[in-house]
């Protein structure tokens, strides 16, 4: 039962399927040229307004000295994650964001880039950031150690938060669906209704977790700017 339960997250059924599963992560890239030539419609305007809102918010988080295109990275990051989260809600589609291989591939290079940029270009600011203002002198060595450890853990917490939230919802949906064949008609109708509610909740979680990942990445970038 346990192996069957977690097999929904297993991409390696065969070499060909494994490659196709991971390639599904980039299907959104093929839709960009099509979306560019599409006639504007309601979903198109909704998506554009969402991206403009995110651009404005990320611009505030990065500070007034940030360049005009500095938010492009984080808006693109949000778009990639939310697309893959929604892809995972479809039947028989591999959920790449439920794997640490995917989430760490997004968080670790960003964190390394921010750290290298900060320590090379703003060394004094990075050292000052290790000791919060007003810290007593005898606590400074401990604060440096705590701040260093919390900084090192950032890419891991970003990756685990996203993967864990995707796994939790999918496991709950799988557990409920596995009990369906043994239920009566009345209880089965209640199960279908609860599945619809859970699917709606998972759609909200997909957007929220994408937003949290992008916002935290923006805040980490603003600390070294």
* Lowest mean per-residue pLDDT among 5-19, 32-46, 110-124, 155-169: 5-19
Confidence band for 1, pLDDT divided at 50, 70 and 90: very low
Residue scoring higher pLDDT (154 or 39): 154
Closest CA to 97 of 86, 110, 108: 86
| 21, pLDDT greater than 70 | no
Q: Determine which of 2-6, 86-90, 109-113, 189-193 has the lowest per-residue pLDDT on average.
A: 2-6
Alpha-carbon distances of 171 from 2, 7, 51, 163, 175, rounded to whole Å: 11, 10, 30, 12, 6
Q: Which two tokens stand for residue 92?
A: 């028989």
Tell me the domain boundaries of the chain: 7-224
What's the pLDDT score for residue 122?
A: 86
pLDDT at 34 over 90: no
* Rounded Cα gap, residues 97 and 155, in angstroms: 15
Q: Please give the residue that has the higher pLDDT: either 127 or 216.
A: 216
User: Per-residue pLDDT for 7 more than 60?
Assistant: no
- Given this model, what pLDDT does residue 211 score? 95
Per-residue pLDDT tens over the stretch 78-88? 988 998 888 88
Q: Is the pLDDT of residue 215 over 90?
A: yes
Report pLDDT for 6. Answer: 56
pLDDT at position 99 over 60: yes
Which percentage of the chain shows pLDDT scores above 90?
Answer: 24
pLDDT digit string, tens, across residues 197-212? 888 888 999 999 999 9
Task: Name the pLDDT band for 218 (thresholds 50, 70, 90).
Answer: very high
What's the mean per-residue pLDDT of the chain? 80
Whether the per-residue pLDDT at 14 is higher than 50: the answer is no
pLDDT in tens, 57-97: 998 888 877 776 788 889 989 988 998 888 888 877 778 88
How does DSSP assign 124-173, residue by residue? HHHHHHTS-TT--GGGHHHHHHHHHHHHHTHHHHHHHHHHHHHHHHHHHH
């Amino acid at each position: 039962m346990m192996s069957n339960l977690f097999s929904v997250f297993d991409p390696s059924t065969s070499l060909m399927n494994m490659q196709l599963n991971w390639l599904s992560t980039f299907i959104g890239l093929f839709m960009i040229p099509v979306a560019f030539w599409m006639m504007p419609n309601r979903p198109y305007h909704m998506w554009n307004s969402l991206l403009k809102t995110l651009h404005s918010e990320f611009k505030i988080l990065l500070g007034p000295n940030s360049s005009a295109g500095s938010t492009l990275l984080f808006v693109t990051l949000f778009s990639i994650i939310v697309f893959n989260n929604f892809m995972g809600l479809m039947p028989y589609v591999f959920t790449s964001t439920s794997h640490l291989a995917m989430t760490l591939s997004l968080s670790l290079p960003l964190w390394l880039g921010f750290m290298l940029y900060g320590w090379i270009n703003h060394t004094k600011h990075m050292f000052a950031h290790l000791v919060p203002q007003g810290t007593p002198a005898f606590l400074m060595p401990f604060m440096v150690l705590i701040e260093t450890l919390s900084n090192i853990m950032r890419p891991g917490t970003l990756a685990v938060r996203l993967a864990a939230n995707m796994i939790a919802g999918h496991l709950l949906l799988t557990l409920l669906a596995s009990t369906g064949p043994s239920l009566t008609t009345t209880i089965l109708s209640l199960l279908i209704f609860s599945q619809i509610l859970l699917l709606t909740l998972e759609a909200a979680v997909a957007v929220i977790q994408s937003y949290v990942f992008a916002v935290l990445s923006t805040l980490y970038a603003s600390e070294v700017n």
